Structure 1
Amino acid sequence: MQSYEVPTPILNSPFHPPGEYWYIREGEAPERRGGRRRSVVFPPRDQRREWDLSDGVLNPSADYPGGYELTLVNLIRERLDAWREQGWPGVTRTTLELLQWWRRDGRDKRLFFAQIEAAETVIFLKEARPDFLQGIAVPVDEPSSQQKENGIRAFSRYACKMATGAGKTTVMGMIAAWSILNKVNSRGNARFSDVVLIVCPNVTIRRRLAELDPEAGEGSLYRMRDLVPTHLMPLLRQGRVLTMN
């Protein structure tokens, strides 16, 4: 067996938070550890410019030589766990109903932990009680000087990095439903929008994403994946999901 091979590659259930992982380093025997692996990134082999570590987003990893710990990601995970354990303090009634609906016992179509956590993370950054967000500052995407002259403003980008097959389209549906339903129920709340824009790479994928249109009703992803209760579908159809290339 090679040093990087392990007897049991899969240690965790897709429906529960990670509880174990393999700690692997070149030249050493794999070590089975408890808990969740810290988020770490490695620079590309052909990297030409060193990463800027001044903003504290990245820090050299003590466990993985040559790797960098995603400090902000790990902090958000820790706060998110605490926020969830306390019942998501700060969220609207609409959001609470959705969170409970996604996690309820007896679902025929269970959602993966990764899907729920991805949607929860976006919700956390927008709705969590302020004390949970202390020290969390997501860097803003600043436009160039030329772009600013053309009227383009800085904006916040929240990225959910998920593996192939993890169900990213379902997460898009969860976030779209959360935003639209909250906006419909509170028109003056600027944190939400009842119009969602999805940009995809080609026509084939755009056709597949038609299931994210609330007008599809029972044929939409919201019902096929049981993301939105039946009684909320009329409200969801008051919003729009636009998909384009």
Structure 2
Amino acid sequence: MAKSIDKLIINSPHEEPKQHWFYERENRDFYIKEGRRPAGYVMATPNSKVFDDPGIFVEIDTVNQIRPRVKAWREAGYPGVTGITKRLLDHWQDPEERKDRRFFFCQLEAIETIIWLSEAPAADKVGIDIKGDGGEIERWCSKMATGSGKTIIMAMIIAWNFLNKVTNPTDARFSKYALVVAPGLTVKSRLQVLYPTNENNYYEEFNIVPASLMDKLRLGKIAIHNWHTLAWDTQDKIDTKIEKGY
């Protein structure tokens, strides 16, 4: 047991975590626990008034159900995926292609999970219920830490969609159009690397797309906008719609 952590990093960024720091809230102690930390978040203890409330850890059940299924699917060789998807997955993990720039485990797992949701056999996803908001657009979120390479994941998602759609135009699971919404002008400028025609594009910079497929990738269309250009309704208009039951 320890009151503080003397060595924060205890796993390789290129492998699935094998252990994690566990916080025992009753004794306010840390210790290393074998296995991966469950996905979850800490919320305040109800009615607590102490300044150092350790909180309550709440697991995210859906994520914890999906993780082992994606792992089993990975170990089985990604059954159910298209030829293009398999080629990309192999390319992203090929030791010969990744000598200088290996992707982090969290990056590979993020794109694998999105692909799994789209392409894995239906039997693999029985019991997985991702709640929507009732709209026509299906919303998936890949939550990653600052500095873990989210822009690379965006490039992977775009490449996976574009290359599959150009190769199989009738496959409705994919699109050759992508809208990227930035939270600010600074971020928008940094996201220009998502354009395949950009001199410093990530597809070539990080070897995300094999050179022989770059021409196909460029057949897709990308639009990158700052959020304020989407012409959101004012709060007054939103309130009026709510009052009218729209």
TM-score of the superposition, structure 1-length normalised? 0.83
Aligned residue for 1:40?
A: 40
Q: Does 1:85 align with 2:75?
A: yes
Q: Is the 8 A contact 1:90 1:128 kept in 2?
A: yes
CA distance in 1, matches of 2:161, 2:46: 40
- 1:243 paired residue number: 224
Which structure has the larger Rg over C-alpha atoms?
2
2:104 to 112, 119, 124: 112
Aligned to 1:196, the other structure's residue is in SS state strand
1:136 paired with 2:128, answer: yes
Q: Residue in 1 aligned with 2:240?
A: none
> Residue 55 of structure 1 aligns with which residue?
none
* 1:34-84 residue CA offsets vs partner (Å, 9 max, x unmatched): 11011122236799xxxxxxxxxxxxxxxx972221110001101000000
3-state SS in 2 of match to 1:14: coil
Between the aligned partners of 2:83 and 2:166, the Cα distance in structure 1 is 13
Q: Which amino acid aligns with 2:179?
A: L
Asked if the contact 2:111/2:156 (under 8 Å) is kept, the reply is yes
Distance between the aligned counterparts of 2:223 and 2:13, measured in 1?
Answer: 30
Summarize the alignment of residues 163-202 of structure 1 with structure 2, pairs less than 5 Å apart: 163-202=145-184
Q: Distance in 2 between matches of 1:163 and 1:208?
A: 18
Contact 1:23 1:30 in 2 (8 A): yes
Matched, 1:30 2:30: yes
| Percent pairwise identity | 40
Deviation at 1:131, TM superposition (A): 1.5
Q: 1:123 aligns with which of 78, 98, 115?
A: 115
Q: Tell me what 2:16 maps to.
A: 17
- Give me the TM-score of the superposition, normalised by structure 2: 0.83
- Seen in structure 2, the aligned counterparts of structure 1 residues 194 and 45 have a Cα distance that, compared at 3 Å, is farther
Aligned pairs, number = 217
- Alignment match, 2:51: none
Q: Does the CA-based 8 Å contact 2:2-2:30 persist in structure 1?
A: no
Cα offset, 1:25, TM superposition: 2.1
Q: Secondary structure at the match of 2:141?
A: coil
Shift of 1:7: 2.4
User: Are 2:223 and 1:233 equivalent residues in the alignment?
Assistant: no
SS of 1:42's partner is: strand
- Report deviation, 1:28: 4.1
Q: Which amino acid aligns with 1:166?
A: S
Q: How far apart in 2 are the matches of 1:203 and 1:40? A: 31
For residue 242 of structure 1, report the CA deviation from its aligned partner. 1.0
SS in 2 for 1:13: coil
Q: Does 1:70 align with 2:52?
A: no
Structure 2: any 5+ residue segments left out of the alignment?
A: 48-53, 227-246
Q: 2:90 aligns with which of 100, 104, 122?
A: 100
Alpha-carbon distance, 1:210 to partner: 0.7
Matches of 1:242 and 1:73 in 2, distance apart? 30
Aligned AA for 1:233?
Answer: M
| 1:156 partnered with 2:146 | no
Deviations 1:126-166 (A, max 9, x none): 00011211111111122xxxxxxxxxx33321111100100
Report the aligned-residue RMSD.
Answer: 2.0
Distance 1:169 1:44, change over 3 A: farther
Conserved? CA contact 1:138–1:156, under 8 Å: no
